[in-house]
Amino acid sequence: VHRIDKETSGTMIVAKTDVAHSRLVEMFAAHDLDRRYQALVWGTSIKGGGIIDQPIGRASFDRKRQAITTKGRNAITFWKTLRQFPPFGSHIECRLETGRTHQIRVHLAHIGHGVIGDPLYGRAPRAAQMPDNFARNGLSQMRKFERQALHAAYLGFSHPVTGEALSFETPLPADMASLLELIEGTVSARARGETGIFG
């Protein structure tokens, strides 16, 4: 019924009948679903919550990339911060109003908070931006994450035939959970003044 980006984990809908498929497609077109993602992003200036309302279209300089462009299609992302881990990044939730290609990744990069591990849009901080060697070591470990740290965590919608309210949640996959533990552990260890946990 819909797609999620390659290397993004999480929940998807698959229709079993033509009738269900047709009605679900109509729901997506009308934005009549509750789609929430969790992301681990670089930077900690993303506080509270907000909305990103910027059109997205194919980048003129690279056919594989999307970009903010006045010639693009309407795209709206709501976001809220769940936790922050200075000096590295933040754990956020995004709710999609629209569903453009690479929407969350492009929107978050646009406001300076690219998704960790995103090879197209997720520009990581430089080692020189870290306050000490301990933080630089932690950053080096985080930069090794092998996909964008983006997870389709929640999907809510009405059953396409009965109208029953349905919702589905899936927890963070093992790799993102491990990345979150690494970030949490590094921040906690720095706060305690520990050193040398990276061998």
Q: What is the pLDDT of residues 20-64, one digit of tens each?
A: 999 999 998 888 899 999 999 999 999 999 999 999 999 988 888
* pTM of the full structure: 0.90
- Give the pLDDT confidence score for residue 54 in this predicted structure: 97
Average pLDDT taken over every residue of the chain? 92
CA-based nearest residue to 57, from 68, 48, 42 = 68
- The rounded Cα 96 to chain-centroid distance in angstroms is 11
Which positions are annotated as active-site residues?
5
- Give the pLDDT confidence score for residue 6 in this predicted structure: 87
9-26 pLDDT per residue, tens: 999 999 999 999 999 999
* pLDDT tier for residue 198 given thresholds of 50, 70 and 90: very low
Average pLDDT over residues 107-134: 94
Check: CB of residue 72 under 8 Å from CB of residue 154.
Answer: no
- The rounded Cα 27 to chain-centroid distance in angstroms is 22
CA-based nearest residue to 155, from 144, 167, 145 = 167
pLDDT at 195 over 70: no
- Give the pLDDT confidence score for residue 101 in this predicted structure: 92
Which one of 129-133, 148-152, 181-185, 189-193 scores highest in mean pLDDT?
A: 148-152
- Give the pLDDT confidence score for residue 194 in this predicted structure: 65
pLDDT at 197 over 50: no
| Packing angle of the helix pair 133-142, 174-192 (nearest 10 deg) | 180
82-119 pLDDT per residue, tens: 999 999 999 999 999 998 999 999 999 999 999 999 99
- Give the pLDDT confidence score for residue 190 in this predicted structure: 83
Dist. CA 85–CA 42, nearest whole Å: 9
* pLDDT tier for residue 199 given thresholds of 50, 70 and 90: very low
